[in-house]
Structure 1
C-alpha cells in the first residue's frame, strides 16, 4: 500500500522525551516525501510551535494544531479550517479551575491567554518558555477577536483525573480530552484529530485507505481509528495500543522511523 498522507503526532511520538527530533526520524520522513507522500503534523500544540518543526524537516503543507481544532498552512500561516467554541460555555470550567487553583489557558488559532500573566506559577512559566509561547492575560470574551478553539487545564495527575471525572458528569457541551498526563483539553464537540485529518484528506482528494497515522496518547485515538493504518508507538497507554492497527517502537527508539520503514518504505 502506498500511503499518500501520513499524519504524525509530535510530543511523545515524533519527538523523544527530550523533545528532540532525531536525525533517524528526519531521514525517514525525508525519504517518504521523496517518494511522494505528504507529511502532516497532527498535534495538541499551537500552530506557532508546530510550524517550526515542519520547517526544521524542510516540509511545507499543513499542521493540524490544537488537537485538530485548527488547520493551518505552513508556508503563510493561513487558517484553512477551525472549530470555534461558544466562549460563554467555558465559564463553568474557568470557575471550577479558579476554585481549585488549577492552571488553565484559552487558545485562539495563534493567541494564548492565561488567567493572570503577572501571577503565573513557576511550572506554567517553564512550560510556556519551553514551548516558546508568550501568553497574555485573558480579557473579557467581548475583547477576544478570534474564535476560541481550545481550553486547556494543567495540574498534577490526581487533580486532572478528578477533573475528568467531574466534568464527565456535566452536560456534554464540549469534547473533553485527556491530552497528556497532566493536561485536559476542552474543544468544540466536532473538533478532534480524526475529524481534522478526515477533512484534510477530503481537501487533498486522498482516500482513507491511503492515510497512515502514528500517535501515542488518548487524543490520538480518533486519528488512529480514522486512518487506513493507525500505528501506536510503544510508549502509548494500553488503550491507545488497543485502538491502533499496529504497534511500533517507542518515541525514544525512533518509532516513527521504524513504522515508516515497515509500512511506507518497504
Structure 2
C-alpha cells in the first residue's frame, strides 16, 4: 500500500507527556514529507494553538494542513488560509450554557485568541496551558458570547463528565457532535463535524483515495477519524476501546510511536 497522507492527533499521540515532539518523531515526519507524504495535525485545539508546532514540523514548507477544533476548521499551512469552517451559532452556545448550569459543569468557548468563561477551574487552567491562549473571565457568558464559535467545552471531574456526556447525547445527538477528548473535556461542535468528516473532506479536496490515508490517535474524539481512514493506528497508550478497533498498534507517545509507524508503514526501514 502506498500511503499519501497522515492525520495525527496531538495530545497523548504525537506529543509526549512533556507536551513535546521527540526529535526522533520530528526527523521521521520531515523525512516522510520529503518523500511526498502530506501531514495533517488533527486536534481539538484551537488553530492558534497549533501554529508553532506546524512550523516546527515544517508543514508550511511541505504543504501540510491543520484540522483544528476537532475538524471544525481546515487550514492550509502554506498560506494560513482556512479552506473549510463550520460554526455553532450564538443561540447554540447559549443553549449549551444553560445545560452546563443545569449539570453544574464549567463551560468555555473561543473568540479570536481568547478562551471565554464565567468561571475559573483547574480543568480550564489545563486548556489555557495547552493552548497558550488568554483566559477572559466574563460576568455573563450569554451577554459576552453574541457571535458564532467553532466549539465549546464542558469541563468537570472525569467520572461525572461521562454521565453528562450520556445525558447531552440523549438530548442533542441529532443537533451536535459530542465527544470526550481528555477525560475532563467534553467537546461540542456542529452536527456532522468531527475529525472523520474533516479527513474525508480534505482527502476529497486533494483528490486522495481514502484507502491511501492514515490516521493515528488515542482517544474517543479520534474515533471518527480512525474509522474513516484507510489505515487506523493507535498509540500503545491509547484507551483499550481505541486499540481494539485499530488495524495497527504503534509504540507509545513517550516512545516515539509516530516514528515507529512511519518507519514501518511508510519508509519501510
Normalized against structure 1, the TM-score is what? 0.91
The runs of 5 or more residues in structure 1 that have no matched partner are none
Deviation at 1:139, TM superposition (A): 5.7
Q: Is the 1:24–1:257 Cα contact (8 Å) retained in structure 2?
A: yes
CA–CA separation in structure 1 for the residues paired with 2:105 and 2:22: 34
The alignment status of 1:210 with 2:212, answered yes or no, reads yes
CA–CA separation in structure 1 for the residues paired with 2:258 and 2:124: 29
List aligned pairs for 1:34-73, cutoff 5 A.
34-60=34-60, 61-73=64-76
Equivalent residue, structure 2, for 1:156:
157
Cα displacement string for residues 108-146 of structure 1 (whole angstroms, at most 9, x for unaligned residues)? 5x4444233xx52355235413421113344637742xx
CA–CA separation in structure 1 for the residues paired with 2:131 and 2:149: 20
Equivalent residue, structure 2, for 1:140:
143
CA–CA separation in structure 2 for the residues paired with 1:129 and 1:154: 15
Cα displacement string for residues 200-250 of structure 1 (whole angstroms, at most 9, x for unaligned residues)? 111111111111111111111111111111101111111111221111111
CA–CA separation in structure 2 for the residues paired with 1:131 and 1:87: 23
Cα displacement string for residues 164-214 of structure 1 (whole angstroms, at most 9, x for unaligned residues)? 122122142111111111111011111010110111111111111111111
Give the match's secondary structure for 1:10.
coil
CA–CA separation in structure 1 for the residues paired with 2:200 and 2:114: 26
CA–CA separation in structure 1 for the residues paired with 2:267 and 2:205: 25
CA–CA separation in structure 2 for the residues paired with 1:224 and 1:231: 7
**Alignment counterpart, residue 94 of structure 2, candidates 62, 76, 91:** 91
CA–CA separation in structure 2 for the residues paired with 1:184 and 1:142: 19
The runs of 5 or more residues in structure 2 that have no matched partner are none
The alignment status of 1:80 with 2:86, answered yes or no, reads no
List aligned pairs for 1:182-197, cutoff 5 A.
182-197=184-199
Q: Is the 1:83–1:190 Cα contact (8 Å) retained in structure 2?
A: no
Q: Is the 1:105–1:112 Cα contact (8 Å) retained in structure 2?
A: no
Please, which moves more after superposition, 208-217 or 166-175? 166-175
Give the match's secondary structure for 1:36.
coil
Q: Is the 1:88–1:141 Cα contact (8 Å) retained in structure 2?
A: no
CA–CA separation in structure 1 for the residues paired with 2:12 and 2:130: 15
CA–CA separation in structure 1 for the residues paired with 2:191 and 2:167: 18
- Superposed CA RMSD in Å reads 1.9
Equivalent residue, structure 2, for 1:260:
262
CA–CA separation in structure 1 for the residues paired with 2:206 and 2:130: 33
Deviation at 1:100, TM superposition (A): 4.6
